[in-house]
Amino acid sequence: MPVYLKLQDCNTVPSAAPDSLNQLRRAHVAVLGDVMLDRYWFGRVERISPEAPVPVVQVGREEERPGGAANVALNIAALGASCRLRAPVGRDAAADSLDSLLRRAGVETHLVALEGLPTTVKLRVIGQQQQLLRLDFEERPDEEHLHGLLLDDEDFFVGMAALLLSDYGKGAVHDPQAWIRLARERQIPVLVDPKGRDFARYAGATLLTPNKSEFQAVAGGWKTEEEFHALARHWRAAWQLEGLLVTRGEEGMTLFLADGMHHHPAQAREVFDVTGAGDTVIATIATAVAAGWPLDRAVELGNRAAGIVVGKLGAATVSPLELAASFEAVHG
């Protein structure tokens, strides 16, 4: 399993890193979203099956990692912050594994077990460091299962300084307006990693973070940077957002606020795997916002985190030590 570092585990922070990086360990972030268990079977391939033209994988190692909103929560905990996670799961061994992995990493879990529905599991078969096959085990709960179920915990927001909605389209965030309203009543900023083609359902959030293809699917395409800026400004206002952040892969990420635009070029020197990079970005931004950082600075930190995590295999996390080292590398 990957190692998750707490900020207090880092004895020194490079002098080039901002002092405010130490504020992250005082952040308290609540996460609501779709969780899943990522299973990996690693092995070697030495022959083709005589039964069909497919490789035979001799499995030598198995691994389980929290995925989806659970990976978001791990990223927050890895920054040394406090994280409280609420999500629907099944009554099964996969849910038990998720709960154990999350608690071991320091996440406060509020997993809601639903009768008759499985915990989402994604099984990846990997041979010679290449993914050969993915098997998904999932069933989307209907709204009857979820109605009121995730809103019945009066203590969920106590002590929290930000709410992160991690929507993977599996049903947990079926009523984002209810959560946005509850958070706003408590003056808690709401950050959303969206799914689908109806971003109006997230209206009133503090920050929305679609990737380029997701934003294009909703807002339409563009031919020039000026057209992109015009679309983003329009939809930020239409969706009543404080900020709209469009992540653009190798083009970096662009934040639109009421008072202007902030572009952050991509930081990665070498891209090995983009799996889970979006989780790392929004987890880092939410942690910084919960620590009192303004959105533009929080996004800058999220961009640095993205540049680190894409150099790792699979859904991974970024530690404060790695973030601090990124400042040291820039400033020498």
CA–CA separation, 23 and 20 (whole Å)? 5
Q: Which of 107, 79, 83 is nearest to 13 (CA)?
A: 79
Q: For the CA atoms of the chain, what is the radius of gyration? A: 20
Q: What sign results for the dihedral spanned by CA atoms 98, 99, 101, 106? A: positive
* E strands present in 201-294: 207-208, 243-247, 253-257, 260-264
pLDDT-derived band at 315 (thresholds 50, 70, 90) equals low
264 alpha-carbon distance from chain centroid: 19
End-to-end CA gap in the chain: 32
Of 9, 19, 279, 296, catalytic? 279
Give the best-scoring range by mean pLDDT among 197-211, 267-281, 301-315.
197-211
Q: What is the mean pLDDT of residues 147-169?
A: 85
The token duo for 121 is: 């599991």
CA–CA separation, 271 and 82 (whole Å)? 29
pLDDT-derived band at 275 (thresholds 50, 70, 90) equals low
Give the DSSP H/E element, type plus range, for residue 111.
strand 108-114
Pairing mode, strands 243-247 and 190-193: unpaired
* Domains of the chain with bracketed CATH: 7-37+65-120+140-331 (3.40.1190.20)
CA–CA separation, 257 and 255 (whole Å)? 7
Q: Which of 290, 217, 286, 295 is nearest to 261 (CA)?
A: 295
pLDDT-derived band at 143 (thresholds 50, 70, 90) equals confident
Q: What is the mean pLDDT of residues 205-229?
A: 94
CA–CA separation, 262 and 248 (whole Å)? 13
Query: Residue 72: what pLDDT?
Result: 96
Cβ contact 246:233 at 8 Å: no
What does the pLDDT look like over 222-232, one tens digit per residue? 999 999 999 99
Residue in the structure block whose two tokens are 């994988």:
57
Name the strands in the sheet holding 253-257, side by side, starting at the edge strand that comes first in the sequence: 108-114, 82-90, 28-33, 162-166, 190-193, 207-208, 243-247, 253-257, 260-264
* Residue 37 burial by Cβ neighbours in a 10 Å radius (0-12, 13-18, 19+): buried
CB atoms within 10 A of CB 94: 20
pTM score over 0.75: yes
Q: Catalytic site residue 279?
A: yes
Q: What is the mean pLDDT of residues 111-126?
A: 92
Query: Residue 268: what pLDDT?
Result: 53
Cβ contact 302:318 at 8 Å: no
Q: Residue 21: pLDDT above 90?
A: no
